[in-house]
């Protein structure tokens, strides 16, 4: 029996405000954070009957305590979805939510699902990175990895060693830009659009309401960053100012077959083109997005010049700069993280993949001239993940009468003047 792969779309995504680890969410359960997101998705889309949700895939890096017990299933029950809706948990460290999306997308394309919820949560205040893990001693004893591979900040220092042109000054400049862009995005009401308010509790202060991200530091300058200590190496280059912090937060997204979205009247924010994950030397974890993106581009029949929007997770500034240098993209390119990134907003590990997708969907809406965009991130233990999306608002991206889309191998775009520009990147 032959099967026809279906188009998969990103319908919508929401997230909690991100908090500093153990701060405003210190007495809030991790699973309640993601439950808030699932409930908000369903509230925003009354056109979606709850019993049409076929799967709930939720990621967490530390799957114990309030992030354990097959969190996808328990979150579905707590969110009030019908008991007939199954769920499961995922762990691919920082790319947990990204993997949740690609997993359910593959199921949708195959025909196993029509609609799914995918997301992630990380409460680093309750579950510090590496808490309770027991690495097999052979990993180090047999030199399968360098010891620095188990400390993410050390892998970032290793990346500075590998690429000496990426100086601390460049990393700090990029960090300042991230802070400035987040401040501008807040000023224009862009980030608030996707946030889910969360009731918080403090034994000392009583009840509160989280309505905005806690980590951003408006007014950050290179001078203030230059004075920060380098915790991973004496006289190093990685500081708390040019890296994402330790954070708490959750995300969730609706992913669907495009035909089902049309049937139910669900919006189509992005259309999935391709995705890929790749492995690299664990001690150089930050270069993972490079081979992952190259694999995803090959799969799509595209080149880097066909991409007009980039959302790159800012685990460390050096990791983003290595990616941009490799592909010949300026570090201040307006197509890259236009609303800022994790250095300012925070990076609650397994939740961040969907946060990238939320920002890319907003870029697509604001820029119909852009046809293809990328969400990409480095992943602990030496991996990278990349997802290429198509902008449904682009004039060449509309489905044909048969329900399929124009070929993803078209490598040119039309400029505002009506002429064709191919391979320039800036015209897209």
Q: What is the distance between the alpha carbons of residues 12 and 255, in angstroms, rounded to a whole number?
A: 8
User: Residues 6 or more apart from 341 whose CB is under 8 A from it?
Assistant: 178, 181, 182, 311, 312, 313, 314, 320
Q: Which of 94, 127, 160, 394 is catalytic?
A: 94
User: Residues 6 or more apart from 395 whose CB is under 8 A from it?
Assistant: 368, 414
Place of tokens 């950050």: 220
Taking a C-beta distance cutoff of 8 angstroms, is the pair 350, 60 a contact? yes
Q: Which of 160, 367, 378, 393 is catalytic?
A: 378
Taking a C-beta distance cutoff of 8 angstroms, is the pair 355, 15 a contact? yes
Q: What is the distance between the alpha carbons of residues 354 and 352, in angstroms, rounded to a whole number?
A: 5
Structure tokens at 336: 């890259």
Q: Which of 123, 127, 160, 347 is catalytic?
A: 347
Cβ atoms < 10 Å from Cβ of 426:
11
Q: C-alpha distances in angstroms, 201 versus 257, 382, 419?
A: 39, 37, 57
Taking a C-beta distance cutoff of 8 angstroms, is the pair 323, 376 a contact? yes
Pairing verdict, β 383-390 and 270-279 = antiparallel
**What size, in residues, is the chain?**
428
Q: What is the distance between the alpha carbons of residues 292 and 205, in angstroms, rounded to a whole number?
A: 46
Structure tokens at 202: 């403090």
Taking a C-beta distance cutoff of 8 angstroms, is the pair 322, 290 a contact? yes
Taking a C-beta distance cutoff of 8 angstroms, is the pair 251, 357 a contact? no
DSSP state of 288: T
Known active-site residue 94:
yes
Known active-site residue 37:
no
Structure tokens at 284: 């150089």
Q: What is the distance between the alpha carbons of residues 159 and 318, in angstroms, rounded to a whole number?
A: 7
Catalytic residue numbers? 94, 347, 378
């Amino acid at each position: 029996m032959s099967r026809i792969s279906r188009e998969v779309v990103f319908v919508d995504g929401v997230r909690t405000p991100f908090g500093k680890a153990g701060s405003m969410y210190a007495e809030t359960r991790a699973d309640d954070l993601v439950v808030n997101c699932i409930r908000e998705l369903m509230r925003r889309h009354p056109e979606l009957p709850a019993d049409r949700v076929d799967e709930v895939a939720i990621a967490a890096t530390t799957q114990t305590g309030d992030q354990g017990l097959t969190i996808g299933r328990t979150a579905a029950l707590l969110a009030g979805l019908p008991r007939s809706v199954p769920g499961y948990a995922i762990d691919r460290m920082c790319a947990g939510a990204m993997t949740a999306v690609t997993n359910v997308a593959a199921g949708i394309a195959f025909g196993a699902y029509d609609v799914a919820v995918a997301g992630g949560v990380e409460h680093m205040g309750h579950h510090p990175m590496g808490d309770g893990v027991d690495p097999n001693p052979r990993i180090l004893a047999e030199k399968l990895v360098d010891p620095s591979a188990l400390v993410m900040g050390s892998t970032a220092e290793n990346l500075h060693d590998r690429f000496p042109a990426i100086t601390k000054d460049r990393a700090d400049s990029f960090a300042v830009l991230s802070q400035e862009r987040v401040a501008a995005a807040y000023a224009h009401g862009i980030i608030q659009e996707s946030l889910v308010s969360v009731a918080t509790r403090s034994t000392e202060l009583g009840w509160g309401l989280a309505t905005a991200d806690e980590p951003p530091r408006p007014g950050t300058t290179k001078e203030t960053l230059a004075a920060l200590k380098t915790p991973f190496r004496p006289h190093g280059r990685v500081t708390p100012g040019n890296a994402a912090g330790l954070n708490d937060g959750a995300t969730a997204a609706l992913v669907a077959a495009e035909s089902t979205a049309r049937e139910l009247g669900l919006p189509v924010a992005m259309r999935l083109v391709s995705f890929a994950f790749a492995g690299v030397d664990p001690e150089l974890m930050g270069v993972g997005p490079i081979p992952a993106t190259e694999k995803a581009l090959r799969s799509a029949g595209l080149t880097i010049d066909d991409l007009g929007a980039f959302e790159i997770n800012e685990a460390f500034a050096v990791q983003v700069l290595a990616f941009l240098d490799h592909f010949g993209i300026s570090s201040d390119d307006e197509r890259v993280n236009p609303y800022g990134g994790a250095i300012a907003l925070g990076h609650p590990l397994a939740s961040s993949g969907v946060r990238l997708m939320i920002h890319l969907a907003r870029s697509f809406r604001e820029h119909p001239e852009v046809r293809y965009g990328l969400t990409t991130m480095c992943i602990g233990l030496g991996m990278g993940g990349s997802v290429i999306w198509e902008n449904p608002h682009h004039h060449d991206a509309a489905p044909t009468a048969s329900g399929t889309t124009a070929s993803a191998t078209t490598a040119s775009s039309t400029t505002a003047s009506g002429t064709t520009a191919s391979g320039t990147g800036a015209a897209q």
